[in-house]
Every structure is written in C-alpha cells, then in structure tokens.
Amino acid sequence: MKKWSVMLSVLLVLTLVLAACGGKKEPAAGAGNNSGSKAAAKTVRLGIFKNVTHAPGYVALEQGLFKKYWGENVKVDVTAFDNGSDFSTALATDQIDLGFVGPGPSTNQFLKSKNFRIISGSNNGGAVLVAGKDSGINSVKELAGKTVAIPTKGSTNEISLRLLLQQNNLKVTTDKTGVQIIARAPADTLIAMRQKEIDATLIPEPWGTQMEQEGIGKIITPWDQIPPNNGNYPLTILVASDKFLKDNRELAKGAIKANADAIDFIKKNPEKAYEQVNNQLKALSGKGMDTSLIKAALSHLNLTTDVDKAAIEEMAKVSIDAGYIKDVKKEDLDLSKFLDLSLLNEVKQGK
C-alpha cells in the first residue's frame, strides 16, 4: 500500500506541474496587448537651404505641417545647407532622407549615383542679375571682360547665367576676352559687391534686392527674364532618396502635402508668411532678415508643385557643356528616372 501511495503522490505532483505549464500561454508574436505601448519613434532627416527661395519648406516647418502628415511619433531632424552640391552629396550618401534643393547640382549628382528622385516642385524662379552701381554695366552684353559671381559652381544660378550669356553671344573664359565666373556664397557676394571686387552677380533673391536697396547694385535682368523660360524654371524642388521612397512612401507623400499646403498658405496669407519665413531663417542661419526683403523675395517667386522636365533637361545640357556632368553626351541624356511624380499625382487626385 505504501508503494501505491507514493506512486499516486508522484503522479499528482506531475499532473499539477503540467497543468501549470499549459495554463499560461505566451502572446503570439506581434499580437496586441493592453500595455498601451506606442510604435517605435522614427526620425526623418530633412535638408533645406538657408535661403528665402525655400519659403514653402520654411512655412511647413514653422506650422508643423510635416508632423501633421507624419504623426507626432515622427521626429523631424533638419539640416541647413549653404549650397546644392553639399546637399546633393548628403542625400546620395544617406546623410539625409529628403529635402529642398535646386535642379542644377541635384541633376549632376543623380547622374553619378542614381539613388534619389524628384518627387515635387516647390518654387520656380527667384534669381536676378545684379551689376555694381558704378560698374558701368547696364545690359548683359556689357558683361564682356567682367567678373560675375554665382553662389556655387554647378549651381542652378550658374546654369541660368550661362544660358543668359549664350543668348547674348558671350563666352565664359578665364581671362578678359569673355566673362569670368567665380563662386561666392551670397553673403560673401554682398561683401564683394560693397568692396567692388566683382562686377556683377546672378544671385537668388532677396540678395539682389538688398544690393539695390543699399545702393551698391542695380538689377539689370529681373527674375522674370532669367532663363530658361523667363523665370518659370525649377529653382527649388523636393527630392527624396530611393531608400526613403521604398521604405516610407506614405511619409514621402506627407512631405509633398506639407509642401503643397505651405505654398497655398503663402499665396493666401503673404503678410503672415513673412514672419513665419523669418522665424525659420533665424532658426536655421542664426540671423533674421528685414521684412521688406522677404516681401520682395516672395513677390519674385512662382511657387508651384509642378515640375518642368524639359527645363531641367535643358539645364542639364548646359552642365554637360560646362564639364560638370561627365561621361554623358547631350544626345544620350535621359532623366526619365530622375522624376518620380507618382506620389504628387496621387496628392493632386486627393488620394
């Protein structure tokens, strides 16, 4: 009897242990629970210039439009750039995910890396040709033998300048037989103009207006006469890396919506937009700008989400002639993969 008693006791213990193990099930992988935990936070790295021609991006940041479409769980990490070459390199090397840039340097970089796309327009035009007040220059033809500054080599502004010179049968040279082009950041160009170290500059607004207001320069070619298309050419576009588009198409669509909303706001509320642009300019560059200059700049911009592929191709051919795009012949140029406007079209259709 003792033996049976012991065996029954052992069986009873084993039964209780097995019941305990089977009675408590682990939640299936990915199953929800009542902890209320949120999805892991995400950071989107946005690039933008310290320039008023990027006004839609400024307003979108100031009004929190990116977070509106991305959600509160997405952090916006903003990097401010001085020129398109640095921006395009950062985008191609996965230092930023998307942002605002000019077509000149971004096209040059795309043809090298082929790993990012244009997803929307933002602003057409906004650059002017300014000559020194005492330079004696009153027309483009009088730039022969003179020195003209542009923000950076290969920039959209340099491409416009080269087209303008071509229209007037002027050549770019390194001596006084033609027009000499030098690169200076806009702030440095302002100083150079004050000190009469340059004869002229093709520069984005509001720098041209500032030179004119200071009495050191005069605008000899207004923004709506700058080629191509008399000012109606892409100066600021929204681009995104292939990796970001593959993994975050809804976030990319949200950025397009934020840009479009900001454009709409600026057009309907220009007076309010001046302050918002200035707030972001202070945050990004550490220095604000007189409201009259911001007003002048915005009046010289054609804000639009549309993208003129033909104009970008025309500018790319100028870059090929200038030697900025190598190993590509003009007749072989193909930028069809550089533009992915599918998300923009969805936004326009209300999707």
Write the pLDDT tens digit of every residue in 275-323.
Answer: 999 999 999 999 999 999 999 999 999 999 999 999 999 999 999 999 9
pLDDT at 39: 57
Task: Give me the helix-helix angle, 55-62 and 249-268, nearest 10°.
Answer: 100
pLDDT at 179: 98
pLDDT at 24: 38
What's the one-letter identity of residue 225?
A: Q
pLDDT at 351: 84
pLDDT at 70: 97
CATH class of 127-231: alpha beta
Q: Which among 129, 88, 123 has a CA at the least distance from the CA of 106? A: 88
**CA-to-CA distance for 104 and 159, rounded, in angstroms?**
7
pLDDT at 19: 43
DSSP 95-157: S-SEEEE-HHHHHHHHHHH--EEEEEEEEE--EEEEEETTS---SGGGGTT-EEEESSTT-HH
Q: Please state whether beta strands 42-49 and 200-204 pair in parallel, antiparallel, or not at all (unpaired).
A: unpaired
Task: Give me the helix-helix angle, 103-113 and 309-322, nearest 10°.
Answer: 80
**CA-to-CA distance for 198 and 28, rounded, in angstroms?**
71
pLDDT at 21: 43
pLDDT at 64: 97
Indicate the domain borders of the chain. Answer: 42-124+234-348, 127-231
Q: Which among 12, 124, 54 has a CA at the least distance from the CA of 283? A: 54
Give the end-to-end CA distance of the chain in Å, rounded to a whole number: 80
pLDDT at 38: 53
- Let me know if the fold of 42-124+234-348 is the same as that of 127-231: yes
Q: Which among 155, 152, 150 has a CA at the least distance from the CA of 105? A: 155
Which stretches in the chain have pLDDT values below 70? 1-40
pLDDT in tens, 18-56: 344 444 333 333 333 333 345 568 999 999 999 999 999
> pTM of this prediction?
0.86
DSSP 42-79: EEEEEEEESSGGGHHHHHHHHTTHHHHHH-TTEEEEEE
Helix, strand, coil percentages, rounded to 5, for the chain = 50, 20, 30
Residue 292: what are its φ and ψ, rounded to 5°? -65, -30
Structure token pair of residue 140: 């483009």
Helix H or strand E segment including 271: helix 270-285
The answer regarding whether domain 42-124+234-348 maps to CATH 3.40.50.2300 reads no
pLDDT at 263: 98
Q: What is the DSSP letter of 179?
A: B
Chain-centroid distance of CA 135 in Å reads: 34
